[in-house]
Amino acid sequence: MTCEISFKPYRRTFRRPLRTARGEWARREGFLLRVEQDGQVGYGEVAPIPEFGSETLAEAQTFLQHLQVQADLPVPQDLPCCAFALSSAQVGAAADAAASARTRAYPVSGLLPAGDAGLTRARQHVQAGYRNLKWKIGLAPVAQELERAGQLLDALPPGVRLRFDANAGLNPSELEQWLELLARFPQQTDYIEQPLACGQEASMARYMHDYGVPIALDESLNGDTGARFLEPGAWSGPLVVKAALMGEVGALRQRLLPVAAQVVFSSVFETGIGAESVLALADRLPDLSGPIGFDTVDAFNDTLNHLPAAAAIDTDARAAYAPEQIWNSI
């Protein structure tokens, strides 16, 4: 059995820098991976975010260079993005022609920019058919954001729900103010995501119980200690999973199967290759059903993503997936 591995770096500039409680993000960098094994070809993507507990770009590049020389080199545990990319490429290389029949469609949560621009984008997204929206918070004074949030929640038509993503940027006092507001809008509020820093999960669990507002974990799930919150019964709220940061795809599927009903897959602003790898994993989790956080495909002005910016990723859009075109465009 022969195996040849190659990789290419990419660097993408956001149309508009992404503003979160962690700061601004202007460029996305990573690597595309190509695996040719016994005449079959598969693709994967290494898209690190060290702030979420992954390896750095430099660490990934060093390993990929070694992998080109020794294709059977085991992936160290501290390189989860490399493990996800390599295992996804190997699964893709081994996939049979019936795989396309197993693909599913997924509703998408529309991503709103921070500040007043989010109010305008919310109206546009609702008109475009989105039934779930996600707004970044923790960037402006809390009183100002609460006023905007109240306006937004009041204006939502029936059946549209809103997620609030704090990126671990709130303190307990600010979180209490948010929960007081969101408790008044149970039909419009989907959840508040990672309001407090990693390590404060017990406090977030108490707040969720006391206020009755769902709290999702995101940053808490990544890194060496995050896996414990994916154990059945460990967390009662949603689990925002950035699969591309979480290691070997087969092991990740087994870990997510018992909690799949709680899982919300979230983009890491990957190319179409990484996106399809995550969607292929989602296809193998029958209980996963909620809107996914993949309203990111038009964040860049390039040809590295095949999916349209729409309220749902349907099977026709996924059928257009041509990884070799993405690979050749770099």
The residue behind tokens 């621009």 is 117
CA 104 to chain centre: 17
210 is in an annotated binding site: no
CA 282 to chain centre: 12
For 311, residues 6+ apart whose C-beta sits below 8 A from its C-beta are 107, 108, 110, 125, 128, 129, 130, 131
Query: What does the radius of gyration of the chain's CA atoms come to, in whole angstroms?
Result: 20
Do the Cβ atoms of 169 and 140 come closer than 8 Å?
A: no
Whether 134 is a known active-site residue: answer: no
| Annotated catalytic residue within 125, 242, 306, 318 | 242
| Annotated catalytic residue within 12, 125, 136, 161 | 136
Query: CA–CA separation, 297 vs 300, rounded Å?
Result: 7
Give the number of other CB atoms < 10 A from CB of residue 70: 9
Residue ranges per domain, the chain?
Answer: 3-98, 102-328
Check residue 97 and give its pLDDT: 40
CA distance to 6, 44, 197, 249, per residue, from 34 (Å): 5, 7, 36, 16
pTM of the model: 0.94
The residue behind tokens 């660097």 is 11
Check residue 98 and give its pLDDT: 44
Check residue 92 and give its pLDDT: 79
Check residue 96 and give its pLDDT: 46
List the CATH code of the domain at 3-98: 3.30.390.10
Do the Cβ atoms of 205 and 60 come closer than 8 Å?
A: no
Query: CA–CA separation, 183 vs 206, rounded Å?
Result: 15
**CATH number assigned to the domain with residue range 102-328, chosen from the 4 options 3.40.190.10, 2.30.110.10, 3.20.20.120, 3.40.50.300:** 3.20.20.120
Q: Per-block average pLDDT, block size 10, for the chain (330 residues)?
A: 91 90 89 94 97 96 96 94 97 61 90 87 96 95 96 94 96 98 98 97 98 97 90 98 97 98 98 98 96 95 93 96 96
Query: CA–CA separation, 248 vs 83, rounded Å?
Result: 5
Query: CA–CA separation, 32 vs 68, rounded Å?
Result: 13
Query: CA–CA separation, 167 vs 20, rounded Å?
Result: 7
165 is in an annotated binding site: yes
201 is in an annotated binding site: no
Check residue 95 and give its pLDDT: 64
